[in-house]
Structure 1
Amino acid sequence: MSAKSTPEPDMPGGSSSELVQPRQGRRRKPCGKRKGLLIVAWISAGIVVLGGTGTGYLYFTLNGNIKSVDINQALGTHRPQKIDNGSENILVLGSDSRSGGNKKLGGGPDNGSARSDTAMILHVYEGRKEASVVSVPRDTLIERPRCTDTKGHTYPPASGVMFNLAYTTGGAACSVKTAESMTGVRIDHYLEVDFSGFQKLIDELGGVKVTTTKNIEDPRSHLKLKAGTHRLNGKQALGLVRTRHGVGDGSDLGRIQLQQAFIKALTKQFKNINLFGNPKRLYDLANTATKTVTTDSDLGSVNRLMSFANGLKGISSRNMTMVTMPVQYAPADPNRLIVAKAKAEQVWTALKNDKPIPKTATEDTAKGDANGVLTGS
């Protein structure tokens, strides 16, 4: 019998100290908010590189679009040691605020606060030719440390809360603090993506071509695809990366497997797009991309984002390792996950030492049964 991870109940921001109690046999809530991909931030950075070569007007327009938060000041000095060899770790979150354009797409608390339903730690190796991506399941029960948000508000530690509630509690700074506490890995940068911008970016890129090996039908994410090859528009792509009931065992782990496959397909196709041949399309993409991401203050300008993105251009889908943080289903509540500590430590040790993630780290851990359902075309 496959255990499944389900969405957590809506919780207001700033209140995550409550212990999650085991709840058996719960009915799942409709899934209306699954989004937020590493590739969106990656593409956004790449587009900024291209857009930054334009006129001064374009530069100042794009620069004004970028939102940033000063995470370093909020985190202070008690942090994991930084490896000074040119490698970097970036926490990428997908947030589900219902403000602005996101409200039409659903998802997220009605009070305007947000949750991070997708989290990935991107490790760029020394030399910037290879990368590893570790997806962190949102339903994983963790020990959240005491954290301070960028406004100076401090929140007490919490035990047995889901990883994504760190963002609901204290925003970007609390998420980074939690990731560092959980992994022992120094997080050098932060990128946050909203899913309304993701949908628009896919449309402006002309869609993405994928092949599904099975029929996918999930009314909760408004997606219906027959097995075969498709060019997905923005709405379909958003439905694909947020679906969890249409494939696999219906868990968040299965959705992560779809997201990882989609990232590789999109990365492959993006490198073949000649954006310089269409100045209007280039501007539209750059304008949307810079409105879609929120960065840490170190990346909060076009020049800095250009420099960062230039360091990623040499990484292809073939040189990208993608894994899910080793987890097991929680014994007291199969709708939740717990960290497989010994296996996870292999992952974090590898990243801290700028080494490849060993294959043994993900053996005999919980799976989502959606592997191989989606491939690039």
Structure 2
Amino acid sequence: MSSRPEGKASSRRQPVARHGVLRSPNPFVQILTVLGAIVAVVVVSVAAIGGFYVWDAARAVADAGVSIGEDEAALPPTIGEIEGGVNLLLVGTDSCEGQDIALFPRCAAADAEGERNDVTMLINISDAPRRVTVVSFPRDMIVSIPSCTGEDGTQYSAMSAQMINVSYMYGGLACSVLTVKKLTGVDIQFAGAIRWTGVINMSDAIGGVDVCLSDDIQDGHTGLDLAAGQHTLVGAEALQFLRIRHGIGDGSDLGRISNQQQFMSSMVRKLQSDGVLANPGTLLNLANTAVKQVTSGQLVLSNELANPQRMVQIAMAVRSVPYEDIVFVQYPTVYAEGGLRVLPVTSDADVLFAALAANQPLQLTGSTSDGNGTEVVGEATAPTSTPTATPTPGSTEAPVVEPAPTETAVALPSTVTGQTAAQVTCTVAER
């Protein structure tokens, strides 16, 4: 049973339920577009280009940081790969503040006020050997929300059963972090949030992302009209692709998540390709764009993340992760009675998070096409880890190359669907 928060200011409105059958469009931002772009740009620009002015611009990022708990002590004056593992929460919000009404006509509607985390993703970067796992949480999933303090100091009581996408409204980024912590038991050190215009600007700066459609797609809700085949999406069209759910998969938010995973996988391959990381002009443009998103309020980072040195450390940890070890999954759910909401399947999720805690490789067993929005059509050529060279004691011969040990992957329950960055997928029309 749902409980309403007590003690909230009377001037604050109650959240409007936004679910799979309603007309409410959602933004999407994915972590490897935003964080990956920022940190990769900083580390490559500073180390290879000598663009030390980036540090001055990055100070604006640090000044705009928000607290999600106890802030860490100042970092030592060294640059190196971050030690240990990383858990980072990234949300995409539906705020209409500062948005173009022509692009987002919903912002003229009476229910446009408020800001919700309509996209919520937890990014796990493991300790050595490095792996990256991105867990997407359906916005219609019913969870308990802990007591939170709003950015204006308003206290919100705990709620037993609410959609996860209202957590941002009840306390901003910090409340979304607390909610995901409570659900997963994962300690989250870093967090960020982005709005619609920020997604458009970042897509433009990186030069677009390649996507594949198995069928023609027409969606009057987002305005997207694309023929079957390959497309390079930029700006507003990229955002439309990320928001679309009508006409793909099963028409729900679950189908949209798998569509977004296609976009993320393609983005990862582009970020690791010569088209971006080896192009100084693109990198500098991306760095400037990222900083502008923070200073304009389109991108919010936690204090722990809004630090250029910390960004570099994270970038150095993820820059060479093989495609097959970059995995995108949906948090497992079942439809609630009536089919308008979904409920978490915590027993299956526990298998996933136990594997992440033990830093074990993951094996996906669920099909990406089972009610979702994409199907696998091929494999991308993945970068491989460099074997460790160990010199033989007392020998002048060349070092002996020792291959990395083989690890047994954890077979995830079929309810944990998704794909790796090595898999090339195409969007399918609603069946």
| Band of TM-score, shorter chain | 0.7 to 0.9
2:211 match: secondary structure? strand
CA distance in 1, matches of 2:362, 2:149: 31
Runs of 5+ consecutive residues of structure 1 not aligned to the other structure: 1-11, 75-83
The 1:162–1:154 alpha-carbon spacing in structure 2 relative to 1, beyond 3 Å, is same
Q: Structure 2: state its 5+ residue gaps.
A: 1-9, 72-81, 294-298, 378-423, 427-431
1:175-194 equivalences in 2 (<5 Å): 175-194=176-195
Is the contact made by 2:209 and 2:270 (CA closer than 8 Å) also made in structure 1?
yes
1:50 pairs, out of 44, 51, 55, with: 44
Alpha carbons 2:91, 2:120 under 8 Å: kept: yes
Flag the 1:39–1:275 CA change in 2: closer, same or farther, 3 A.
Answer: closer
Query: Residue in 2 aligned with 1:343?
Result: 348
In structure 1, the residue matched to 2:415 is none
Number of residue pairs the alignment of both structures matches: 349
Q: CA deviation at 1:59?
A: 2.3
Q: Report if the CA contact (8 A) 1:209-1:376 is conserved.
A: no
CA contact (8 A) 1:258 1:373 kept: no
TM-superposed deviation, 1:245? 0.2
Question: How big is each residue's C-alpha offset from its partner over 1:200-253, in whole Å with a ceiling of 9 and x where there is no partner?
Answer: 222222222222112211121111111111122222211111100021111000
Q: In the alignment, residue 37 of structure 1 is paired with which amino acid?
A: Q
Letter of the structure 2 residue corresponding to residue 64 of structure 1: A
Q: Sort the Cα spacing of 1:276 and 1:232 in 2 relative to 1 into closer, same or farther, 3 A.
A: closer
Root-mean-square deviation (CA, aligned residues, Å) is 3.3
| Separation of aligned partners in 1, 2:253 and 2:88 | 22
Match of 1:93 in 2: 91
Tell me the SS of whatever aligns to 1:334.
Answer: coil
Q: SS of 1:257's equivalent?
A: helix
Q: Tell me the CA shift for residue 280 of structure 1.
A: 4.7
Deviation string for 1:264-322 (max 9, x for gaps)? 01110121145577655433211112333322111212222222222221224322122
Shift of 1:184: 0.9
Q: Secondary structure at the match of 2:26?
A: coil
TM-aligned CA distance change 1:231 to 1:161, over 3 Å: same
Q: Secondary structure at the match of 1:249?
A: coil
Residues 88-127 of structure 1, C-alpha deviation per residue, up to 9 Å, x if partnerless? 211111112212246554256633x311111111111112
Q: Greater relative contact order: 1 or 2 (C-alpha under 8 angstroms, separation 6 or more)?
A: 1
**Partner residue in 2 for 1:32:** 25
Change (3 A) 1:100 1:128: farther
Say which SS state the counterpart of residue 236 (structure 1) adopts: helix
Greater percentage in helix: 1
Query: For residue 172 of structure 1, what is the aligned residue in structure 2?
Result: 173
Rg comparison, structure with higher value: 2
- Residue 73 of structure 1: aligned partner: 70
Give me the whole-angstrom Cα distance separating, in 2, the residues matched to 1:180 and 1:276.
Answer: 33
The answer to whether the 8 Å contact 2:33/2:267 transfers is no
TM-score, normalised with respect to structure 1: 0.82
Tell me the SS of whatever aligns to 1:63: helix
Contact kept in structure 1, 2:15 and 2:166, CA below 8 Å: no
Q: Which range is displaced more, 54-63 or 226-235?
A: 54-63
TM-score after normalising by structure 2: 0.72
